[in-house]
Structure 1
Amino acid sequence: MIFYNTLHRKKEEFIPLKKGKVTLYTCGPTVYDFAHIGNLRAFLFEDILRRYLEFEGLEVVHVMNITDIDDKTIRKSQEENRPLIDFTDEYTKAFFEDLKTLNMIPAHHYPRATEFISQMIKTIKILESNGYTYTADDGSVFFKIAQFPEYG
């Protein structure tokens, strides 16, 4: 299987890091509204990719995060005067219904961002102390993937 590698800016053969196994981590929805066709297009691609990898005999473990806390979720839950968890649960449930309607294979795990905030902060501090990050003008911290070849 050939993919376009955006890091190297060329097409490359896909070779799993572990023979016969693929870990597939994909960005799931930010649950502040119902999914639209553009959102679902991305999830459909991931579903097709996973089906193909499994068809080729690879064992796939698929993890899709649920972004249930960010500027959009906080702002919209406050506008509606609803607790964040209640607000995001509504859209998370709707997302899972959309996946069923489209006959997509569920991921094996759906970690929510709110479940891992303390771990994210610790990880960011470790990455920063090892020179694996850079900071944008707005204060956002980003990962320098070229500094860590074992990543992904």
Structure 2
Amino acid sequence: MAIQFYNSLTQQKETFQPGDAARVRIYSCGPTVYNFNHLGNFRAYVFVDVLRRYLQYRGYGVDHTMNITDVEDKIIENAHKHGQNIREFTAPFVRAFLEDLEYLAIEDVEHRPRATEHIAAMIALMQSLEKSGHLYSVKGNV
């Protein structure tokens, strides 16, 4: 039996066809760590975990990446307000998030990049987009 997913872009059910017949790659958004997560936040993580387990049950290997957004306006503002650097401010929220995943028996992911680990690449991408005319700035923000 083929796996089908609803494609919200085409508004149709479509047969799942992974790029690699043996391995599925999943990218999902993780938390923005300016505060503790609540039960509603975990709905998305539970869904992706169930999807992952189902794909594994169907015989696929799964390579899952979930980012952690550890830099953004609220984080910078609150870190400054508390006299901490970003890493110090976000550490307890990251730790609590990982503990909560464990308590909920959500399988660990293969990759968990943090936004702060990729700042240089983000800047280069934005500069490239700006140079090609696909980016604009308003009041110093892009």
The TM-score with structure 2 as length reference comes to 0.87
Unmatched 5+ residue regions in structure 2?
A: none
In the TM superposition, residue 4 of structure 1 has moved relative to its aligned partner by 1.6
Q: 1:62 to 1:78 in 2, by over 3 A?
A: same
Partner of 2:117 in structure 1?
A: 115
Say if 2:17 is the partner of 1:12.
no
Q: 1:27 to 1:82 in 2, by over 3 A?
A: same
In the TM superposition, residue 25 of structure 1 has moved relative to its aligned partner by 0.8
Partner of 2:44 in structure 1?
A: 42
- Correspondences of 1:1-152 after superposition (within 5 Å): 1-127=3-129, 133=134
- Report the structure number with the largest CA radius of gyration: 2
In the TM superposition, residue 7 of structure 1 has moved relative to its aligned partner by 2.2
Read off the aligned partner of 2:39 and give its amino acid letter. Answer: I
In the TM superposition, residue 134 of structure 1 has moved relative to its aligned partner by 5.8
Count residues in correspondence. 140
User: How far, CA to CA, are the matches of 1:108 and 1:45 in structure 2?
Assistant: 17
In the TM superposition, residue 100 of structure 1 has moved relative to its aligned partner by 0.4
1:10-56 CA distance string (max 9 Å, x none): 22111101112111111000011111011111111011111111111
Instruction: State the secondary structure of the residue aligned to 1:49.
Output: helix
1:54-87 CA distance string (max 9 Å, x none): 1111111001101000112112222222221111
Q: Tell me, yes or no, if the aligned pair for 2:34 and 2:75 is still in contact at 8 Å.
A: yes
Read off the aligned partner of 2:51 and give its amino acid letter. Answer: L
Unmatched 5+ residue regions in structure 1?
A: 142-152
Partner of 1:148 in structure 2?
A: none
Instruction: State the secondary structure of the residue aligned to 1:29.
Output: coil
Higher RCO by CA contacts (8 Å cutoff, separation 6 or greater): 2
User: How far, CA to CA, are the matches of 2:122 and 2:130 in structure 1?
Assistant: 12
Q: How large is the RMSD of aligned CA atoms in angstroms?
A: 2.2
